[in-house]
Amino acid sequence: MIIDIVKVFLPAVLAFLFGVLITPPLTNFLYRHKMWKKTSVARTIDGQEAVITATLHKDDVKKTPRMGGIVVWLSVFITISVIWLLAEFISTETLINLDILSRSQTWIPLFTLILGALVGLIDDFLVTRDPATSRFKGSYAGGGLSLTKRLLVVAIIAFLCALWFYFKLGVSEIGAPDGLNPIPLGIFFIPFFILVIIALYAGGVIDGIDGLSGGVFAAMFGAYGGIAFYQQQYDLAAFCATVVGGILAFLWFNIPPARYYMSDTGMMGLTITLGIVAFMTDSLGKGHGIMTLPIIAFPLVITVLSNIIQLLSKKLRGKKVFLAAPIHHHFQAIGWPAYKVTMRYWVISLVCAILGITFALIG
């Protein structure tokens, strides 16, 4: 038991330390190359003029670099790689026991974290290009990959993972609390898997205020780390804790005033991977991680719902429900300081994480 506890918490501490060490050279590079958005927010998701949102963001005068999510995934990758290399070449019993890179538990979430992050990095790079001088023409320079293209990439990654879960791991049902039968989906498990991952990625728009997304995702991955530990999926629990360590390193420099933004290189990898972890703590872990997901990820759920409600209201009623969407910008628009929105989201995220763990363990 002691070695399992060390196996979970040591990588988290290492990821935090690596992340803190990575940040100074990274931010120096980002500032030196002016890796921030060159155009201000002009349109809402439905194409209308974003008057309030543009005022809140003030991208045209706020020279804060994007790509801060590099700190998260790179610190996770370095931590897992260092421990694996030490275990391979020194091969002491202790180091072998501390190695968390396993085919059954961590290959898939690590793969999605890195792949999603790299695609997001491409998008961030294009967003930071000046449309007036960049060789990337059309909507790419200054605008990055379109939402359609990003959703397509997320869907493809989710599809590949769904195939692995269904055909390789034999997963075709959703776990349920004790006393209830699992929900059999058969081949429909694959589209269900894809929809869950896309929905989580849609919640990535929560990355809109200094410190907001970091605190929320730290709570969510921490919750699933606790659930995985209870299920004795120690490698997966350690992976989640390592991600939390990387997020905390990012958050150290992202609290107001932010030194950088997480942006898509962080959000794409984290949202996809959160979904993968939820499925791995479901029937594979003899639990119900998917039914627990709406509780733990409630901040993402309410973010997506606020966007949907706003769009439908504008289309059907011709007027808005919120002053600005997503809902965290509505709170800003009614006068809440950004730090108050952020810290209240942190509180809600921790409460949801505790509720989610409780539901997962006693259900």
pLDDT, residue 132, reads 55
Other CB atoms within 10 Å distance of the CB of residue 246: 36
Cβ-contact 64, 261 below 8 angstroms? yes
Highest-scoring range by mean pLDDT, 15-19, 263-267, 358-362: 15-19
CB burial of residue 90 (10 Å; 0-12, 13-18, 19+): exposed
Q: Quick one: tokens of 168?
A: 């390789």
Question: Distance between CA 334 and CA 197 in Å, rounded?
Answer: 32
Q: In angstroms, how far apart are the furthest CA atoms of the chain?
A: 67
Question: Distance between CA 195 and CA 139 in Å, rounded?
Answer: 27
Q: Is the pLDDT of residue 324 over 50?
A: yes
Mean pLDDT for 263-285 is 95
3-class state of residue 184 by DSSP: strand
Minimum mean pLDDT among 177-181, 196-200, 348-352: which range? 177-181
For β-strands 183-184 and 173-174, DSSP reports them as antiparallel
Residue 282 host element (H or E): none
Where residue 325 falls among pLDDT bands split at 50, 70, 90? confident
Q: Is the pLDDT of residue 335 over 70?
A: yes
pLDDT, residue 4, reads 86
Chain-wide mean pLDDT for the chain?
Answer: 90
Mean pLDDT for 64-91 is 94
pLDDT, residue 37, reads 84
The residues, any chain, with a CB within 8 Å of residue 329's CB and separated by 6 or more, are: 52, 53, 56, 208, 322, 323
Structure confidence by residue, pLDDT tens digits, 139-169: 455 568 888 999 999 999 999 999 999 999 9
Q: Is omega for the bond preceding 256 within 30 degrees of 0, making it cis? A: no
Where residue 45 falls among pLDDT bands split at 50, 70, 90? low
- CA 279-250-269 angle, to 5 degrees, is 35
pLDDT, residue 39, reads 67
Where residue 43 falls among pLDDT bands split at 50, 70, 90? low
Q: Is the pLDDT of residue 297 over 80?
A: yes
Cβ-contact 353, 223 below 8 angstroms? yes
Torsion angles phi and psi, residue 325, rounded to 5: -125, 145
pLDDT, residue 295, reads 97
Secondary structure of the chain: what % helix, strand, coil (to 5)?
A: 70, 0, 30
Q: Quick one: tokens of 215?
A: 């605190």
pLDDT, residue 208, reads 81
pLDDT, residue 94, reads 87
The residues, any chain, with a CB within 8 Å of residue 22's CB and separated by 6 or more, are: 70, 71, 74, 75, 78, 249
Helices 234-254 & 107-127 angle (0-180, nearest 10): 20
Cβ-contact 73, 235 below 8 angstroms? no
pLDDT, residue 362, reads 83
3-class state of residue 294 by DSSP: helix
Question: Distance between CA 39 and CA 358 in Å, rounded?
Answer: 44
Structure confidence by residue, pLDDT tens digits, 187-206: 999 999 999 999 999 998 89
- In the DSSP assignment, the letter for residue 166 is I
Where residue 326 falls among pLDDT bands split at 50, 70, 90? very high
Where residue 60 falls among pLDDT bands split at 50, 70, 90? very low
pLDDT, residue 2, reads 83
Q: Is the pLDDT of residue 131 over 90?
A: no
Q: Is the pLDDT of residue 136 over 70?
A: no
What residue segments make up the domains of the chain, in order of their start? 2-206+229-286
Cβ-contact 75, 16 below 8 angstroms? yes
Mean pLDDT for 1-7 is 86
The residues, any chain, with a CB within 8 Å of residue 229's CB and separated by 6 or more, are: 4, 8, 237
